[in-house]
Structure 1
Amino acid sequence: MDITSETHSQHISKQFNHELEELKTHLMTMGGLVERQVQEAVAALLDGDSRLAERVRDNDKAVNDLQIKIDDECTRVLARRQPAASDLRLVLAVIRATSDLERIGDEASKIARNALALTENGNGTKGFVEVRHISEHVRKMVRDALTAFARFDIDLALAVVHEDDAVDSEYTSAMRSLVTFMMEDPRSITSVLSVMWILRALERIGDHADNLAEYVIYLVKGLDIRHIDPDDLDEDALKRKR
Structure 2
Amino acid sequence: MSEHTVRQYDIELDNIRTRVLQMGGYVEQQVVQALEGLLEGDLNVIDRVIGNDHRVNELEVELDEAIAQIIAKRQPAAGDLRSILSVSKVVTDLERIGDEAKKISKVAKLVYETAAVAATPRVQLRHIGGLAIDLLRRSLDAFARLDIDSAGEVCKLDKEVDAEFKAVMRQLITFMMEDPRTISRGIDLLFAAKAMERVGDHAKNIAEYVIFQVRGRDVRHVGLEELQREIASPKA
Q: State the TM-score, normalized to the length of structure 2.
A: 0.93
The residue type equivalent to 2:121 in the other structure is K
8 A Cα contact 1:101 1:208, kept in partner? yes
Q: How many residues align?
A: 232
Secondary structure of the structure 2 residue equivalent to 1:223: coil
The answer for the alignment partner of 1:29 in structure 2 is 22
The answer for the alignment partner of 2:152 in structure 1 is 158
The answer for the alignment partner of 1:193 in structure 2 is 187
Within a 5 Å distance, the mapping from 1:89-238 to structure 2 comes to: 89-122=82-115, 123-124=117-118, 126-129=121-124, 131-235=125-229, 238=232
Q: Deviation per CA, 1:133-188, whole angstroms, max 9, x where unpaired? A: 01110111111101101101011000000111111111111101110111001111
Compute the displacement of 1:104 (Å). 0.4
Q: Deviation per CA, 1:17-57, whole angstroms, max 9, x where unpaired? A: 22111110111011111111000001011111111111100
Secondary structure of the structure 2 residue equivalent to 1:233: helix
The answer for the alignment partner of 2:57 in structure 1 is 64
The answer for the alignment partner of 1:12 in structure 2 is 4
Compute the displacement of 1:234 (Å). 4.4
The residue type equivalent to 2:216 in the other structure is G
Output the CA distance in 2 between the equivalents of 1:12 and 1:64: 34
Output the CA distance in 2 between the equivalents of 1:221 and 1:140: 24
C-alpha distance 179-33 of structure 1, shift in aligned 2 (>3 A): same
Output the CA distance in 2 between the equivalents of 1:237 and 1:51: 44
8 A Cα contact 1:141 1:163, kept in partner? yes
Output the CA distance in 1 between the equivalents of 2:36 and 2:123: 11
Point out 4+ residue stretches in structure 1 off by more than 6 angstroms: none
The answer for the alignment partner of 1:79 in structure 2 is 72
The residue type equivalent to 2:51 in the other structure is D
8 A Cα contact 2:123 2:168, kept in partner? no
The residue type equivalent to 1:96 in the other structure is K
Residue ranges of structure 1 left out of the alignment (5+ in a row) = 1-10
Whether 2:35 is the aligned partner of 1:42: answer yes
The residue type equivalent to 1:172 in the other structure is K
The residue type equivalent to 1:17 in the other structure is D
Secondary structure of the structure 1 residue equivalent to 2:4: coil
Residue ranges of structure 2 left out of the alignment (5+ in a row) = none
Say what the alpha-carbon RMSD is for the aligned residues: 1.6
Identity percentage over the alignment? Answer: 43
Compute the displacement of 1:238 (Å). 4.1
8 A Cα contact 2:132 2:200, kept in partner? yes
